[in-house]
Structure 1
Amino acid sequence: MNTTDRTPVDLLRSALAGDAGRPLVTWYDDTTGERVELSVTTLANWVAKTANLLRDDLGAEPGDRLALLLPAHWQTAAWLLACASARVVPVIGGDPGDADLVVAGPDRLEEARECRGERVALSLRPLGARFPEPPEGFIDYAVAVPGQGDVFVPDEELEPGDEALVIDGIGWTADQVVEDARIEAVEMGLAPGDRALCRLEWNHRRGLFAGFWAPLAVGGSVVICRPGAPIDDATLERRRETERVTRTVE
């Protein structure tokens, strides 16, 4: 954690400057048994590749609005930070028809077709696998992202006053994302090294900030459990113990 951080990009840089090998995002899907763990370094690599994809292949420009039709997921975390890196504004659950480009999971492809710009589809299958059959009219993220560069050098850095996020029609500038993340962390009692377990969707302010931005802002980490997936109390308690969870958001 660095008290001088003023943008989401700063938060990732501070995490990398600390213990870059520590787990940052851990994902569980209790419908498939999948578990994925990303260190700070690994997530940063996904962010760089995705930001390069955004700018170089999709032609996204600073200020473009991206309808983000993804659930709480480790790949969603990469897209949020990639948008910040490329100065693209993610509109959580936004109307594809009003967006410059759209990123959608497998259950939202039909509505995503309303976008007249570039369309990217994520299978959300275990380990980020590609679609068995590429969806017509979409770029398959799992096919397009591996070949991207491992380092992203922005044409211009994200500024604290730049718009950086939209949820339910409400916009946040980059510095407001960081400030709200810190406020949420205080309300949750999060401290550096804490691990938050999140069972909420990220399509509303509390779910997204408590489940991702707040842990990142204070030098913590998050264990994301697929919202709505069946899990009994005993399994959940074992997970808290195994993952050394210190806070739960549900």
Structure 2
Amino acid sequence: MTIDTVILDIEGTICPISFVKSVLFPYFVKQLPTTLNTIQFPLNLNINDTNSNQASIVQTLSKLPLSVTTSSESTYNYLKGLVDNDVKDPVLKALQGLIWKQGYESGEIKSPVYPDSIDFIEKFPKREANCKIYIYSSGSINAQKLLFSHVDNGTGIAMDLNPQLSGYFDITTAGFKQEASSYTKIIDQIDKKDNEKSVLFLSDYINEVNAAIESGMNSYVVIREGNTPIPDKELASHKIIYSLSELNL
């Protein structure tokens, strides 16, 4: 069956794994105290300008346990702990996206998407009318859109790849990435319930690949420089690629 739908992981698949751990996470932790110091604690949810980024941050913080938002210090310590332990918390992910937005818009952050990935994202949707690309990441959908709207293509001017993408999924809309049920949910949402084999998911994390395969879709392991090595015995039964240019779709 011909593959006409590709779902892409981000970190370690289409951009270096170091971008998240060495750029995005540190930027968030660095900016967090300044951001929290502009907010009144206990939280005031009656901010008139509901469109402001600060209002969005306050609304997001209000979803944290009340016991950790008694002060800026306690809130910082709680969030820093989540980051340090790489906890896939939806509130943290939403807050990260809001703070990263400031960095992207100021030009401090640009997304180092691999050239082969840029090329694939630009060309695959144009092959046939039904060829589509989706994104599935543990980062919030807002953070995903920010990443793809500020791609560093080497020209010095940020490139926007969002127009080539048909949709986005995160842990709030699909579920956790190591669970087969999450991929089943995506299959349903993109109307591929009876056509799972026309869908391909790409990831550097073998547990995610296994979960995707269990749901009925195809899935390949992507190996990039700097990724955590995967034992050969675990890779033996999987299709492996080192670049999206290897895809013959």
TM-score if structure 2 supplies the norm length?
0.29
Q: Larger RCO: Structure 1 or Structure 2 (Cα < 8 Å, ≥ 6 residues apart)?
A: 2
Give the number of the structure whose alpha-carbon radius of gyration is greater: 2
TM-score if structure 1 supplies the norm length?
0.29
Larger strand percent: 1
Larger helix percent: 2
